[in-house]
Structure 1
Amino acid sequence: MQEAEQIQLIQNFSNAFGPSGYEQPVVRLYRDAVAPYGTTTIDGMFNALTARNGNTGKRPVVQLDAHADEVGLLVQAVRPSGLIKFVTLGGWVPTNVPAMSVTIRNKRGEYVQGVVATKPPHFMTAAERNTVPQIAEMSIDVGSTSREETINDFGIDTGCPIVPTVACQFDAKHGVFFGKAFDDRIGCAALVDTLATLDGEALGVDVVAGLSTQEEVGLRGAYVTARKVEADLAIVFEGCPADDTFEPDWLSQTRMKGGPMLRDMDTTYIANPQFQQFAADLADELHLPYTRAVRTGGGQNGAAIGYWKGIPTIVVGIPVRYEHTAFNYTALSDFQASTQLVQTLLRRLDAATIASFSSVD
Structure 2
Amino acid sequence: MDKTSQINLIKEFADEYSVPGFEQAMVKRFLSYAKKYGQTEVDGLFNAYVARHENNGQKPLVQLDAHSDSVGFIVQAVRPNGLIKFATLGGWVPTNIPATKVVIKNKEGKYIKGVVATKPPHFMTKEELNQVPVIAEMSIDVGSSSRQETIDEYKINTGCPIFVDATCEYFEQTGLFLGKDFDNRLGAAALIDVLDQLQGQNLAVDVTAALSSQEEVGLRGAHVTARKLNPDLAIVFEGCPCDDTFTPDWLAQTGLKRGPMLRDLDTTFIANPIFEEFAANLADKLNIPYTRSVRTGGGMNGAAIAYWNGAPTIVLGIPVRYEHTAYNWAALSDYQNAVKIAVNVLKELDEKTIASFKLAD
Show the counterpart of 2:4.
4
What 5-or-longer segments of structure 1 have no aligned partner? none
Contact 2:19 / 2:70 at 8 angstroms: preserved in 1?
A: yes
How far off its partner does 1:29 sit? 0.7
Show the counterpart of 1:326.
326
Show the counterpart of 1:335.
335
In structure 1, distance between residues paired with 2:50 and 2:152: 40
1:357 aligns with 2:354: no
In structure 1, distance between residues paired with 2:72 and 2:3: 30
1:150 aligns with 2:150: yes
In structure 2, distance between residues paired with 1:123 and 1:294: 45
In structure 1, distance between residues paired with 2:204 and 2:289: 26
How far off its partner does 1:132 sit? 2.0
Provide Cα deviations, 1:134-176, integer angstroms capped at 9, x if missing partner.
1000000000000010011101000111111100000011000
% identical aligned pairs:
62
Show the counterpart of 2:192.
192
2:57 aligns to what SS in structure 1?
coil
In structure 2, distance between residues paired with 1:295 and 1:162: 30
In structure 2, distance between residues paired with 1:261 and 1:283: 12
Paired residue type of 2:292:
R
Show the counterpart of 2:209.
209
In structure 1, distance between residues paired with 2:133 and 2:343: 46
Paired residue type of 1:68:
S
Show the counterpart of 1:161.
161
Show the counterpart of 1:122.
122
TM alignment of 1:210-249, pairs within 5 A: 210-249=210-249
In structure 1, distance between residues paired with 2:323 and 2:78: 28
In structure 2, distance between residues paired with 1:55 and 1:199: 11
Show the counterpart of 1:136.
136
1:192 aligns to what SS in structure 2?
helix
Normalised to the residue count of structure 1, the TM-score between the two structures is 0.99
How far off its partner does 1:65 sit? 0.0
1:54 aligns to what SS in structure 2?
coil
Aligned residues: CA RMSD: 0.5
Normalised to the residue count of structure 2, the TM-score between the two structures is 0.99
Show the counterpart of 1:29.
29
Paired residue type of 1:82:
G
1:295 aligns with 2:290: no
What 5-or-longer segments of structure 2 have no aligned partner? none
User: Which runs of structure 1 show a deviation greater than 6 angstroms over 4 or more consecutive aligned residues?
Assistant: none
How far off its partner does 1:124 sit? 1.0
In structure 2, distance between residues paired with 1:126 and 1:298: 35
Show the counterpart of 1:85.
85
In structure 2, distance between residues paired with 1:121 and 1:270: 46
The count of residues paired between Structure 1 and Structure 2 equals: 361
1:188 aligns to what SS in structure 2?
helix
